[in-house]
Amino acid sequence: MGIIGGGNLGSSLVEGFLKSGVLRAGEIIVSDPEEEKIRKLARLSIQVTTDNRSLVKNSDVVFIAVKPDMVEPVLKEVEDLSEGKLFISVAAGVSTKFIEARTKARVIRTMPNICGSVLEMASAFSLGSRSTKKDERLVEHLLGRLGVTFVVDEKLMSAVTGLSGSGPAFFYYLIRAVRDAGVELGLPENIALKLAAQTARGASEIVLTSEEKIDELIRRVCTPRGTTIEGIKILESRRVADAIREAVKAAAKRAEEISR
């Protein structure tokens, strides 16, 4: 398994694959031109290189985990080595057709997020015209071990990018706000942060495992004349839900703008 790009997403994939046990360290190769990134990844006992061509030669499956504007130069570099390989792109806005036109590889496009490093990733993927059922099962297995994943039509990948690709930053933003409120109410910062983060984790786990609808879960916490309903009234009066929806849509719009 090769990963071209040792940045945030590439590193989170490596950490997730190792932590989940889906791959062993000796089965992973990562390439990156930056020596500092290579040194950090080498501490995980994986194979590292600055040579993309060497990585592709020695890998059956290659994740393209570089910034969108670097995808084309990378593909040009390894095009003659791509036949018979499965290329899995995590680059926002880069279509399977774009990669297929520049390589002989089978192609799958995915949008993961950085939470793969803690096995809580939300992702989706789309199949290229040359990908096979075996490829689909492989990607579903790999990404599924890092969290949850879904097959979607490629035209929906910008929506996935806005929602779960950019989503961790939106939730960090909300956790920070809850932490700050706790500090203003007198809690030590470290305790307020842990309480906020654990509350978000617990609420998410209930959403994932409960058969109740999200509106029912909100109502269950908002008991009449209780404390929570007073907070919800503020959120609704400030139109927080509208702001969050617009944030996701703005990220999705930007993903669409850079699509090719």
- 105-122 pLDDT, tens digit each: 999 999 999 999 999 999
Domain that includes residue 144, residue range: 2-156
pLDDT grade for 187, boundaries at 50, 70 and 90: very high
| Shared-domain flag, residues 27 and 139 | yes
CATH number, domain with residue 240: 1.10.3730.10
Residue 161 lies in a domain: no
d(CA 193, CA 197): 6
pLDDT at 205: 96
Assess contact for 119 and 144: CB atoms under 8 A.
no
Residue 162 lies in a domain: no
pLDDT at residue 83 greater than cutoff 90: yes
Residues in the chain: 260
- φ and ψ at residue 20, rounded to 5 degrees: -75, -20
| Shared-domain flag, residues 91 and 212 | no
Q: Which residues contact 16 (CB under 8 A, 6 or more apart)?
A: 116, 117, 118, 119, 121, 145, 146
pLDDT at residue 203 greater than cutoff 90: yes
Q: Which of 101, 122, 156 is the endpoint of a domain?
A: 156
Assess contact for 163 and 111: CB atoms under 8 A.
no
| Shared-domain flag, residues 151 and 228 | no
pLDDT at residue 143 greater than cutoff 90: yes
d(CA 76, CA 74): 5
| Shared-domain flag, residues 92 and 140 | yes
| Shared-domain flag, residues 92 and 175 | no
Q: Say if pTM beats, i.e. exceeds, 0.85.
A: yes
Assess contact for 151 and 126: CB atoms under 8 A.
yes
| Shared-domain flag, residues 20 and 148 | yes
| Shared-domain flag, residues 182 and 125 | no
d(CA 79, CA 128): 17
| Shared-domain flag, residues 73 and 130 | yes
pLDDT at 260: 76
d(CA 97, CA 78): 17
* Count of domains forming the chain: 2
| Shared-domain flag, residues 11 and 140 | yes
pLDDT at 117: 93
| Shared-domain flag, residues 136 and 17 | yes
CA–CA distances in Å: residue 109 to residues 90, 115, 149, 217: 6, 18, 12, 34
d(CA 25, CA 23): 7
